[in-house]
Homo-oligomer: A and B are copies of this chain.
Amino acid sequence: MTANPTGLALGVDVGGTKIFGVVVDDQQRILNELRIPTVQGGMRDWGEAVTEEIAVVIHSLHHEAGLAIGSLPICVGVPGMVDAAGTLIYAPNLQSATQAPMLTQLQRQFPDVAIRIENDANCAAYCEFRAGAGRGHDDMTMITLGTGIGGGIIAGGRPFRGGRGFAGEFGHMVMDPKGPHCPCGASGCWERYVSGSAVERMTAEALIQGRLDTIVAQRANKSVALTGEEVSAAALAGNREARALLEPMASWLARGIAVLATVLDPTCVVIGGGLTDVMKLFLPEVRDLLPTLLEGGVLHPGIDVVPAFFGESAGAIGASMLAREEG
């Protein structure tokens, strides 16, 4: 065991399917990393079980790096609303983790270690702002397109968390009160129109209407229903049916960015998450549409809309940055 070499920090990104932990230096280089599957939920104490897994990742990364527990500041990004006490109050895609006192549990296991719990999209936003696609933009908004939509806000060069740490839950802005029903209870939430689940819904509807015949014909295994991921891959490979199917996401993405611009006035919007690559196909259209949707039209100063640089590592690296700087 050695003392902490200057500037190392540990970041963990907790997702619905995997937990990804990294030890990162102050140049954003990953020195060690560890991925383990997320324990599957449903049980009442899921929050406790996943926090136990996070503790295992923290232990293992210290061990691999030859560092004593306590030598690295730690930040854990989680997919939900976290309060100031480090309790995961509500996670839309991990409902059984509701009200999980994650920080209390981790501090019991790691007393006297600087640990913080942070919203995962805030971590990703901070990473892209400090070292990625949003560099130089002190007022930046990050939109992560995954199963749903996550959001992170940088205001004046700092993460903006709101009064209780719940700011940036963009996915549940209602875009059309008569729109599709959302598991959150409302209708027409933004993530019904632009997200992995939106791609799944559009795919299912298109299959019924026979609008994806060329893709269906090309598939080897015809006994399994076409997935949204296959449609995204086909669009990226140049399939016109797939591209046409996904194209409405361009206008919905632009409309949501227009609402965010109205409220937050960012100079840059970074698009990240699992759908980043497929959305790159539509960013030129989004950039064309956006000025027509903003109050003041052409008088409104431009907003850079750019794809994320760090990809899926942004959350864990951003967590390590926040651990180092705010731990």
A174 touches B265 (CB 8 A): no
A164-B265, A176-B177, A264-B167 given as contacts; is B259 within 8 A of A299 (CB)? Answer: no
Q: A261-302 toward B: CB 8 Å interface, digit per residue (1/0)? A: 111111110000000000000000000000011011101110
Interface residues in A155-195 by Cβ distance below 8 A to B read 155, 160-170, 172-178, 184-186
B163 touches A266 (CB 8 A): yes
Task: Judge whether A260 is part of the interface by a CB distance below 8 angstroms.
Answer: yes
A295 touches B184 (CB 8 A): yes
B300 touches A174 (CB 8 A): no
Task: Judge whether A204 is part of the interface by a CB distance below 8 angstroms.
Answer: no
With the chains together, A153 CA to B176 CA distance in Å?
A: 25
With the chains together, A142 CA to B151 CA distance in Å?
A: 22
B296 touches A90 (CB 8 A): yes
Interface residues in A66-103 by Cβ distance below 8 A to B read 81, 83, 89-90, 92, 98-99
Task: Judge whether A116 is part of the interface by a CB distance below 8 angstroms.
Answer: no
Residue of B nearest to A259 (CB): B173
Q: How many residues of A contact B (CB 8 A)?
A: 54
* Residue with the greatest number of chain B CB neighbours at <10 A, chosen from A168, A174, A292: A174
A89 touches B299 (CB 8 A): yes
Give the residues in chain B near A296, CB-CB below 8 Å: 81, 89-90, 92, 184
A259 touches B174 (CB 8 A): yes
A175-B177, A177-B176, A296-B89 given as contacts; is B266 within 8 A of A168 (CB)? Answer: no
A259-B173, A295-B184 given as contacts; is B265 within 8 A of A163 (CB)? Answer: yes
Which of B163, B169, B295 meets A92, CB within 8 Å?
A: B295
With the chains together, A31 CA to B295 CA distance in Å?
A: 38
Task: Judge whether A133 is part of the interface by a CB distance below 8 angstroms.
Answer: no
Task: Judge whether A138 is part of the interface by a CB distance below 8 angstroms.
Answer: yes
Q: A239-268 toward B: CB 8 Å interface, digit per residue (1/0)? A: 000000000000000010011111111111
